[in-house]
Chain A
Amino acid sequence: MPSRVRRIRRRVAGAWILQPLTGVWLVVLWLLLWGRVSLGLTASGIVVAALVMLAFPLAPIAVEGRPRPLPALRFGVRFAGDVLLASVQVAWLAVRPGPEPETAVIAVPLRTRSDLMLTLVAEALGLVPGSMVVEVDRRARTLYLHLIGVRDRAAVERERLKVHALEARMIRAFGSPDDRAALARDEEDR
């Protein structure tokens, strides 16, 4: 069974970083709830964070990527723009006169191999209006999305490309070397 053991160990590579990140986030959350910063509040925050982390340990997940500031900024700006634009589009669909908007359910196979990246992409898509994650196939790395306001097949294909572009931006910003290599291979094939 050595290969099985190796696979399990590889799957949680980088998971050590989650504990300190969770701890820091919980302390920040505590301070935000209090609305001010002081030594006593920080100390009590650390105690509460430690208790919470002991009582509700998170499952280890692999964290293989490191954020790169510039691509991350690019991702953030494009993402905010997408959310703005698409919010207005869906709002317009809701109030415009006319027939009921057409919808579609499409499968989008992703290039990433990482659970964390799959989750992040799904989460980001959930925030961009016009697309909603209906189903996640973890083994095939495929997201099934419900789209609204797609008039024809061409519009569906445009949406598929948009999802791939979002995934590409996210991999460039936060992805592991493996994911970036997979992305580069895929883009060469096109």
Chain B
Amino acid sequence: MSAAADVLSAICLLLGAALSLAAGIGLLRFPDLLSRMHAASKPQVLGLLLILTGVGLRLRTGIDVTTLVLVAIFQLMTAPVAAHMVARAAYRTRRVRRDLLIVDELSERLDEATASSRDDDAERGRD
């Protein structure tokens, strides 16, 4: 029983480490900030979950496992928000390799938004 758990734990740890390595390589190789956020936030999340599972299978005591569960929950809750904040700031400060974008439906929208908020201001001025 415990041998099986150890094997499973080793598999989880190795897979998790491989995904984290891929995330690190992506961080180096991807061309711009937005692409890098993909590598930093996604394979890394699954990699961390696998490593936590592996560690949990090795430790097998109540208090350690509950701590690992908490780490997993907070990672899942915060990673998308953090990625979004960085991505939003990156896009708005134009740190995007435009030559790699095959479609960009946001830039048109932002131009419109700037124009319409100017209209809103003008209307408010009239009231």
| A contact set with B: CB distance below 8 Å | 29, 31-36, 83-84, 86-88, 90-95, 100-107, 122-130, 132-135, 137, 144, 146, 148, 150, 152-153, 156
B79 at the interface (CB under 8 A from A): yes
- Interface residue count on the B side (C-beta < 8 Å): 50
In chain B, positions 57-82 with a C-beta closer than 8 Å to chain A are: 62-67, 69-70, 76-77, 79-81
In whole angstroms, how far apart are the Cα atoms of A158 and B31 in the complex?
A: 24
Supposing A86-B42, A91-B23 touch, asked if A127 and B103 sit within 8 A by C-beta, the answer is no
Supposing A86-B42, A129-B43, A132-B41 touch, asked if A94 and B91 sit within 8 A by C-beta, the answer is no
* CB neighbours of B12 from chain A (8 A): none
The chain B residue with its CB closest to the CB of A108 is B105
* CB neighbours of B103 from chain A (8 A): 104-106, 153, 156
What's the nearest-Cβ distance from chain A to residue B85, in Å?
10
B11 at the interface (CB under 8 A from A): no
B104 at the interface (CB under 8 A from A): yes
What's the nearest-Cβ distance from chain B to residue A61, in Å?
16
* CB neighbours of B105 from chain A (8 A): 105-107, 144
Supposing A93-B26, A94-B25 touch, asked if A127 and B80 sit within 8 A by C-beta, the answer is yes
CB–CB A95/B84 < 8 A: no
* CB neighbours of A102 from chain B (8 A): 100-102
Supposing A87-B19, A130-B42 touch, asked if A125 and B87 sit within 8 A by C-beta, the answer is no
CB–CB B102/A153 < 8 A: yes
What's the nearest-Cβ distance from chain A to residue B102, in Å?
5
B29 at the interface (CB under 8 A from A): yes
B10 at the interface (CB under 8 A from A): no
In whole angstroms, how far apart are the Cα atoms of A74 and B1 in the complex?
A: 31
CB–CB B102/A152 < 8 A: yes
* CB neighbours of B88 from chain A (8 A): 134-135
* CB neighbours of B100 from chain A (8 A): 100-103
What's the nearest-Cβ distance from chain B to residue A119, in Å?
10
Q: List 13 A-B contacts (CB under 8 A).
A: A35-B66, A83-B46, A91-B26, A101-B31, A103-B97, A104-B102, A105-B105, A126-B79, A129-B43, A130-B42, A134-B84, A134-B91, A135-B106
B14 at the interface (CB under 8 A from A): no
B126 at the interface (CB under 8 A from A): no
Q: Nearest 10 A-B pairs (CB), nearest first? A: A126-B80, A35-B63, A94-B26, A129-B42, A91-B22, A107-B105, A87-B46, A104-B103, A32-B66, A100-B31
* CB neighbours of B91 from chain A (8 A): 105, 134-135, 146
CB–CB B46/A146 < 8 A: no
In whole angstroms, how far apart are the Cα atoms of A130 and B91 in the complex?
A: 17
In chain B, positions 75-124 with a C-beta closer than 8 Å to chain A are: 76-77, 79-81, 83-84, 87-88, 91, 97, 100-107, 109-110
In whole angstroms, how far apart are the Cα atoms of A177 and B43 in the complex?
A: 35
CB–CB B80/A84 < 8 A: no
The chain A residue with its CB closest to the CB of B77 is A123
